[in-house]
Structure 1
Amino acid sequence: MNVEEVIKTEKKIPLESRTLIHYSLVANRIHETMTNALKPFEVSLQQFNVLRILRGQKGKPANLSTLNERMVTKMSNTTRLVDKLIRKEYVNRITCPSNRRKVEINITSKGQKVLVEMDSAMKKAENDILKNLTQEDLKVLNQLLDKF
């Protein structure tokens, strides 16, 4: 991806600025590709992330703060995400009878099944995004990103 071509400029961009613009362009392409992979399932990347977190609980329920802590994209509207997943019957919410403020969220069997399909679509998207990079490239890239 040539930054100057994408942003349609002929002037020389300082290396620091070019690097950050390049990073943003790549992040946007990754986000767009992954979002498109999830479109057939009518879920957002954040909803997909919630489902994966709940699957990772291995049958144990999670609360909203656990979901928030583990989200890739930190946000305050986790309740809204969970509500949408409940409407799709991918998760359920249980209110603790002894402490009504305590809410536990579980992934349903329907959620588990659709998540397997989403995983396949996301793997295809990952392969498309990373197709021009070798394993060594990925190691170096991760080392560089760790420096951020």
Structure 2
Amino acid sequence: MKIEDAIKQTKPFRNNRHKAMVNLIYTHNFIVDQLRSKIKPFGITMQQYNVLRVLRGAGEPISTSVIRERLLDKMADTSRMVNRLHQKGLVTRNECEHDKRLVDISLTEAGYALLEQLDLLNPDMDKIVGSITEEEATTLSNLLDKIRS
């Protein structure tokens, strides 16, 4: 569906860059809504899911400041999210060996187990953008990287 139809645009866009920005925002929200509905039954938010994935990718305990640097949503309150994940038993908090002012965060067995369950959703998540080919996905990623450069 064209963006004009999706948002019921009656006037032309200012230019193609304006149209692209509106389309990116609309598509971002569409994708986030789809992903959110897939993980909702697991009792975590998109931001918490991102924290868990960051921790798994790190492969070792990391501080909340490192987590914050790696998050997709830079506006998220990392400390609050880590506290909630800790309350759910998905992460542990330990005093950093190198800097006593920092707390190292790592996944618990329950955290790893939840991520394994969520990994089973990967084919469904891939279907969200399944209407484009692998080559188109590469082109899209390259264009998005170019916008941020």
TM-score (norm 1): 0.89
Displacement of 1:102 after TM fit? 2.3
Displacement of 1:40 after TM fit? 0.7
**Is residue 27 from structure 1 mapped to residue 11 from structure 2 by the alignment?**
no
Equivalent residue of 1:130, what SS?
coil
1:69 alignment partner in structure 2: 69
Equivalent residue of 1:114, what SS?
helix
Letter in 1 for 2:33: E
Cα distance change on mapping 1:9 and 1:98 into 2, 3 Å: closer
1:49-100 Cα offsets, whole Å, 9 max, x none, are 1111111232x21111111111111135101000110111000111358965
1:133 alignment partner in structure 2: 132
1:3-27 Cα offsets, whole Å, 9 max, x none, are 1212213322232221111111111
The runs of 5 or more residues in structure 2 that have no matched partner are none
Report 1 or 2 for greater relative contact order, CA contacts < 8 Å, sequence distance ≥ 6: 1
* Root mean square deviation, CA, Å: 1.9
The runs of 5 or more residues in structure 1 that have no matched partner are none
2:109 alignment partner in structure 1: 109
Residue 47 of structure 2 contacts residue 76 of structure 2 at CA under 8 Å; is this kept in 1?
no
Runs of 4+ residues over 4 Å off in structure 1: 96-100
Cα distance change on mapping 1:42 and 1:145 into 2, 3 Å: same
Cα distance change on mapping 1:20 and 1:98 into 2, 3 Å: closer
Q: How many residues align?
A: 146
TM-score (norm 2): 0.88
**Paired-residue identity, %:** 33
Letter in 2 for 1:88: K
